[in-house]
Amino acid sequence: MDATEKHGAQFAAGGAYGPDAVADSMQRGDGGFGRDQQTYYDHPVLQKPHWKWEVVTYFFIGGMAAASSALAALAASGGDPDDALLVRNARYSALAGALASGALLVKDLGRPERFLNMLRIVKLKSPMSVGVYALSVFSMNAGVRALEQLHADGHAPFAVPGWLAKPLRVTTGAPATALMACYTGVLVSATAIPVWFTGRRHIPAIFVCSAVSTGAALQNALLVLTGGSARTAKKLAIVELIASCAEAVLLLHWRLSAGESAKPLFRGARGRRLERFTLVGGLALPALLLLPSVLSRRPRHDRLLGLTAAVAALFGGYVLRESIVHAGRDSADDARAYLRHPE
């Protein structure tokens, strides 16, 4: 939006003053020029983040990739032969997700050709810098794992030498994966945007839970499509169920404990959308659909049910990221919420 458009929109939305300013001035009866202004004409104090769909999608896919890689590692360490298909699917999808994440991140830059400037320094103080290194190391590990899997499947003529792969995995695998799952939450929390920083205790954990619930849903769908065992599907369903419950509890707790500054997320059309597609459609519905298979002693594999639950969970996860990113923009526009210093 250029300046002319911006001012035009402001003018159309009720003149120079925001609705709050109009209400204030009516109360004072001074035509808007009293001595107790709360803001400067309600003009935003903060600048809006320019992040668009690329970043929303990256938050979503990056989380799923991290969870997929964690599920592959956990299933492989368990060693149940039934789970071999999950390990394989999850390793390939983790690499695909890592590659897509990198592409989305680069595309979002104002100057994509300067992406490598991110790697000219390491800055632990900047979650953006930490995140870029987490993604780089994560992608490297995902690549090595996928190559190993290709070799095991007989598709690759050479194996990654163990002396290289193992130390790499042991030292960097888990930390990079954990950071991949949560740093995006830290990234938004550590800003001056009220809805984000007041949610700093909730957002990162919610992002991790959402990464695991959508990652498990994705793996469940892939398992259905590749004809995996019902026992593996049951294990995935248990993980998804627990992550979804935790996510729902955190979201509700945030909503109940949040003050005025979380309004852009939980009220109005965005709040209803979050409720409908994330809380109900993305968390409660898949949980209900998965519950029978979790509770039954002899799980059957219902393909249609599994796929439906997965699609609902994935869409809910996307809506969650989108709502939080977009709420940040509206929050930046709310001068009153920020000037009230809502910490």
Q: What residues from 108 to 147 belong to the interface with another protein (CB under 8 A)?
A: 108-112, 114-115, 117-118, 120-121, 123, 125-129, 132
Q: How far apart are CA 302 and CA 256, in angstroms?
A: 37
Binding marks (x or -) toward another protein, 256..275, rule CB under 8 A? --------------------
Binding marks (x or -) toward another protein, 215..234, rule CB under 8 A? ----------------x--x
Which is nearer to another protein, 56 or 243 (by Cβ)? 243
- 73: helix, strand or coil: helix
State both tokens at 300: 């059957």
- Binding residues among 271-310 for another protein as defined by CB under 8 A: 297, 299
Which residue type, as a one-letter code, is found at position 28?
R
CB of 334 to another protein, least distance (A): 12
CB of 319 to another protein, least distance (A): 20
Which of 88, 91, 145, 235 binds another protein (CB under 8 A)? It is 235
Which of 4, 155, 162, 269 binds another protein (CB under 8 A)? It is 4
Which of 98, 309, 319, 332 binds another protein (CB under 8 A)? It is 332
- Binding residues among 20-79 for another protein as defined by CB under 8 A: 30-31, 33-35, 37-41, 43-51, 70-71, 74-75, 77-79
CB of 256 to another protein, least distance (A): 17
Based on the shown chain and the rule CB under 8 A, indicate whether residue 11 belongs to the binding site for another protein: yes
Binding marks (x or -) toward another protein, 172..211, rule CB under 8 A? --x---x--xxx-xxx-xxxxx--xx--xxxxxxxxxx--
Count of Cβ atoms closer than 10 Å to residue 127 Cβ:
22
- Compute the CA torsion angle 295, 301, 307, 310 (nearest 10 deg): 40
CB of 157 to another protein, least distance (A): 31
CB of 273 to another protein, least distance (A): 22
Count of Cβ atoms closer than 10 Å to residue 1 Cβ:
9
Q: Where are the alpha helices (DSSP H) in the chain?
A: 3-12, 19-28, 53-78, 84-108, 127-152, 162-168, 174-189, 194-197, 203-226, 230-257, 263-266, 268-273, 285-295, 303-333, 335-339
State both tokens at 8: 């035009």
- Compute the CA torsion angle 165, 167, 173, 174 (nearest 10 deg): 150
Based on the shown chain and the rule CB under 8 A, indicate whether residue 12 belongs to the binding site for another protein: no
Please report, for residues 68, 93, 296, the alpha-carbon distance to residue 156 in angstroms, rounded to integers and kept in the order given: 22, 17, 40
φ/ψ region of 123 (left if φ > 0, alpha if ψ in -120 to 50, else beta) reads beta
CB of 263 to another protein, least distance (A): 18
CB of 76 to another protein, least distance (A): 9
- Binding residues among 83-102 for another protein as defined by CB under 8 A: 83
